Homo-oligomer: A and B are copies of this chain.
Amino acid sequence: MPETLLSTRNLAFELYEVLDAESLTQRPRFAEHSRETFDAALTTARTIAEKYFAPHNRKADENEPRYVDGRAELIPEVKPAVDAFLEAGFLNANRDFEVGGMQLPSLVSQACFAHFQAANAGTTAYPFLTMGAANLIESFGSEEQKRLYLQPMIEGRYFGTMALTEPHAGSSLADIRTRAEPAGDGSYRLRGNKIFISGGDHELSENIVHMVLAKLPDAPPGVKGISLFIVPKYLVGPDGSRGSRNDVVLAGLFHKMGWRGTTSTALNFGDNGQCVGYLVGQPHQGLACMFQMMNEARIGVGMGAVMLGYAGYLYSLDYARQRPQGRSAENKDPQTPAIPIIEHTDVKRMLLAQKAYVEGAFDLGLYAARLFDDTHTAPDEDTRQQAQALLDLLTPIVKSWPSAYCLKANELAIQILGGHGYTREYPVEQYYRDNRLNPIHEGTEGIQSLDLLGRKLAQNGGAGLKHLMRLIAVTGERASHHPNLDPLRQPLEQLVNRLQGVTLALLGDLAQGKVAGALANSALYLKVFGHCVIGWRWLEQAIHAELGLLQRAAADRDFYLGKLQAARYFLTCEIPGCHADLALLEARDDTSLNMQQEWF
C-alpha cells in the first residue's frame, strides 16, 4: 500500500543518517530515549494521523465551520481527532517527564507533528495554536498565570489562540488600536477588534485562552508600545474554576479559499466594556514575547507547507504509477499498450521537481528543529549560541521557502493528474488551496524577505551568517571526497560565493543608510538565499546517499539513487537560474523602486 503522509524510509534517512537523531540520546535531557522510543512515538503519530485526521480532511473542507448563535460549529470528527492527539501526549511532546511530557527532542516531535500536518492541516491547527500559546505563558507568564492557564492547556482542557491582526493594520502591528486600561485590581479591561484569529471559537475545549496584543494608556507609539495579555473566553476563578463568559464576542467567520477546517474568526473584545485581560510579561514588551512564539510558529508553518507538498507529491506519484496513458515519444504504434504516465519524461520532471522541493524543505525543517534542540541541550555554550544565531537567521527561510516551493509542488501534483487533479474527487486540489495560505500568514513572503535582509543577516554581529557559510564550506569539502558529487557541488559553490559578495554589498548599503535601494529587491534576495540553503541541504543529503550506497544493503539502492537524482535536479537544473537574480541584486536594479503609482 502506498504511503500517503510521508515516506517512512525518507524520514528514517533524515533522522538516523543525515541528522543523527540517536546522538541526541547522549545528552542528559534525552538520556532515557533511544531510537526505539523515537520510532514508537513516530508510529503512534502516523497511526493517529491516518486513523483520526486524514479521514475527515475532505469533509472538513466541504463543511467549513458555521456561525450558529454566536458560536462556531465544527463537524463532529474534529474533536475525537484532537482528543486522540492529546491522549497520546503530542501536545506536550517536548515538555519534561515530570509535568507529564514526553521530553522528546524537537527533531523527533516535529517529525511526529508532520504526520498530522500532512493528514489534515485544518484540524492540526487547533493543537498547534494551543502549543504556541502555552509556550508563551510558560516563558513569560507569572506563576499564577501558569497555574490558572498553562496547566489546563498542558492537560488539554484549555486551548489557545494568537490575537494579533486588526482590520485596519494587517501586518503593521505598530498600528494596532486595541487598548488595555488598568482596572485597579491588577487586571485590565481590553477594547478592540481582531481579525483572522484562527481557532478563535470552537467547543473543542473547556476554555480558550486568547493571547492578545494591545496597548496600555501610557504606551509609546509604534511597536515599542505593544503589550501582551491573556484574555480567556471564560473567566477563571482563583481556584481554577471556570466562571462566566468574558466580554469577547465572535463577530463573524471568514470564508477561506482553503484550510477551511480551521475557524478564522473576527473577535470583538470589550464591546460592553467588560473584557478582562491579564498582562503577560513586562508592559510594552509584548512584541518581543510574541516574537518568540512567532519564530516557533514560523518553523511550524514552514513544516506545514512542506507536508501539504509532501502529501500531494506522494499522491501524484502513486497516480502516475497506476495511470496508463499514451506511449513513449519514440513509439508511434497505437497498437502497443499504453504505458504508465510515470514513464513520460515530462511527468518524471514534474515528480522530480516535487521531490526536490518537498524533500529538500523537509530536511531543512527537521534541521531547524535539531538546531532548536542544540540551542538548549548542546553540551557547550558556544554551540548553543551558534545554533541560536543560525536558527534566527534561517527562520525566514524555513517559513518562506516551503510556502513558495511546496505550493509549486502542489501545482505540479494537480498537473500530473490533469483534469482529474482539477476536480474535488481527488485530494490534490485541496492541498493546493490549503497551501496557498502559507505564504500569507505568520508573516507574508514580503515580511520574511525584509526580516532576512534588513534584520537577521546583521543580527548577532553576523554570527549566524558566518556560521552558515562555514557549514556550507564544510559540506562542500566533504562532498569533494566523492568525485560523483563534483557536478553537484560546483554550482552550489559558485552561487554561494556570489551570494556572499552581494550580501556584503547590500549590508554596506544598509549601513550607509541607502535603505530603500538595498531592500528594493528583497524578494529576489530571499529566493536566492533560500535556494542556497536548500541546495546546501541537498548536497548534504547527497553525501549521505553516497555513503548509504557504499555501506548499506542493496535493498536501499533505489532509494539512494533517487536521492542523488533529486539532488542533481535541484543543484544542476534549478540552482543556476539564481544567477540572473543575483545580477539584478548586484546592479541594484531599481525597476520596481522607480515605478510610480500613477503609471499603473
- Return the contact of A561 from the options B256, B352, B418, B596 (Cβ within 8 A): B596
Chain B neighbourhood of A418, CB < 8 A: 170-171, 440, 444
- Asked whether B423 lies within 8 Å of A325 as measured between CB atoms, the reply is no
- State the CA gap A565–B589 with chains docked (Å): 12
Say how far A339's CB is from chain B's closest CB, in angstroms. Answer: 10
Interface centre among A436, A516, A583, A594 (most CB of B within 10 A): A436
- State the CA gap A256–B414 with chains docked (Å): 12
The contact string, 1 if C-beta is below 8 Å from chain B, for chain A 187-205, is 0000000011000000000
A286 at interface by CB-CB < 8 Å:
no
Chain B neighbourhood of A333, CB < 8 A: 222
Given A221-B335, A254-B423, A599-B565, A345 and B573 contact (CB-CB distance below 8 Å): no
A568 at interface by CB-CB < 8 Å:
yes
Interface centre among A170, A257, A328 (most CB of B within 10 A): A257
The contact string, 1 if C-beta is below 8 Å from chain B, for chain A 530-573, is 00000000000000000000000000001101100100110011
Give the nearest-CB partner of A593 in chain B. Answer: B345
Number of chain A residues close to chain B: CB under 8 A: 104
Give the nearest-CB partner of A583 in chain B. Answer: B576
The contact string, 1 if C-beta is below 8 Å from chain B, for chain A 154-167, is 00000000000100
Given A172-B325, A576-B583, A345 and B519 contact (CB-CB distance below 8 Å): yes
A338 at interface by CB-CB < 8 Å:
yes
Chain A, range 299-351, C-beta contacts under 8 Å to B: 317, 321, 323-330, 332-335, 338, 340, 342-349, 351
- Asked whether A592 lies within 8 Å of B345 as measured between CB atoms, the reply is yes
Chain A, range 34-55, C-beta contacts under 8 Å to B: none
Chain A, range 227-270, C-beta contacts under 8 Å to B: 254-258, 264
- Asked whether A175 lies within 8 Å of B334 as measured between CB atoms, the reply is yes
- Return the contact of A595 from the options B172, B326, B348 (Cβ within 8 A): B348
A94 at interface by CB-CB < 8 Å:
no
A581 at interface by CB-CB < 8 Å:
yes
A520 at interface by CB-CB < 8 Å:
yes
Chain B neighbourhood of A592, CB < 8 A: 345-346, 348-349, 352, 569
A502 at interface by CB-CB < 8 Å:
no
- State the CA gap A422–B437 with chains docked (Å): 7
Chain B neighbourhood of A576, CB < 8 A: 580, 583
Chain A, range 570-600, C-beta contacts under 8 Å to B: 572-573, 576-577, 579-581, 583-584, 589, 591-600
A115 at interface by CB-CB < 8 Å:
no
| Majority SS at the chain A contact face | helix
- Asked whether A436 lies within 8 Å of B414 as measured between CB atoms, the reply is yes
Say how far A361's CB is from chain B's closest CB, in angstroms. Answer: 17
Say how far A60's CB is from chain B's closest CB, in angstroms. Answer: 16
- Asked whether B346 lies within 8 Å of A523 as measured between CB atoms, the reply is yes
- Asked whether A441 lies within 8 Å of B415 as measured between CB atoms, the reply is no
- State the CA gap A580–B580 with chains docked (Å): 8
Say how far A137's CB is from chain B's closest CB, in angstroms. Answer: 25
- State the CA gap A520–B596 with chains docked (Å): 43
- Return the contact of A170 from the options B196, B329, B419 (Cβ within 8 A): B419
Chain A, range 97-120, C-beta contacts under 8 Å to B: none
- Return the contact of A346 from the options B169, B446, B515, B573 (Cβ within 8 A): B446
- Asked whether A425 lies within 8 Å of B345 as measured between CB atoms, the reply is no
The contact string, 1 if C-beta is below 8 Å from chain B, for chain A 383-413, is 0000000000000000000000000000100
- State the CA gap A349–B450 with chains docked (Å): 14
Say how far A147's CB is from chain B's closest CB, in angstroms. Answer: 35
- Asked whether B595 lies within 8 Å of A352 as measured between CB atoms, the reply is yes
Give the nearest-CB partner of A572 in chain B. Answer: B591
- Asked whether B169 lies within 8 Å of A415 as measured between CB atoms, the reply is no
A522 at interface by CB-CB < 8 Å:
yes
Give the nearest-CB partner of A332 in chain B. Answer: B222
Chain B neighbourhood of A595, CB < 8 A: 348, 351-352, 562, 565, 569
- Asked whether B222 lies within 8 Å of A334 as measured between CB atoms, the reply is yes
A445 at interface by CB-CB < 8 Å:
yes
Chain A, range 342-367, C-beta contacts under 8 Å to B: 342-349, 351-352, 355
- State the CA gap A254–B323 with chains docked (Å): 19
- Return the contact of A425 from the options B254, B411, B432 (Cβ within 8 A): B254
- Asked whether B520 lies within 8 Å of A345 as measured between CB atoms, the reply is yes
Chain A, range 432-469, C-beta contacts under 8 Å to B: 432-433, 436-437, 439-441, 444-446, 449-450, 454
Say how far A216's CB is from chain B's closest CB, in angstroms. Answer: 15
A297 at interface by CB-CB < 8 Å:
no
- State the CA gap A342–B600 with chains docked (Å): 10
- Asked whether A599 lies within 8 Å of B562 as measured between CB atoms, the reply is yes
Give the nearest-CB partner of A589 in chain B. Answer: B573
- State the CA gap A589–B348 with chains docked (Å): 13
A424 at interface by CB-CB < 8 Å:
yes
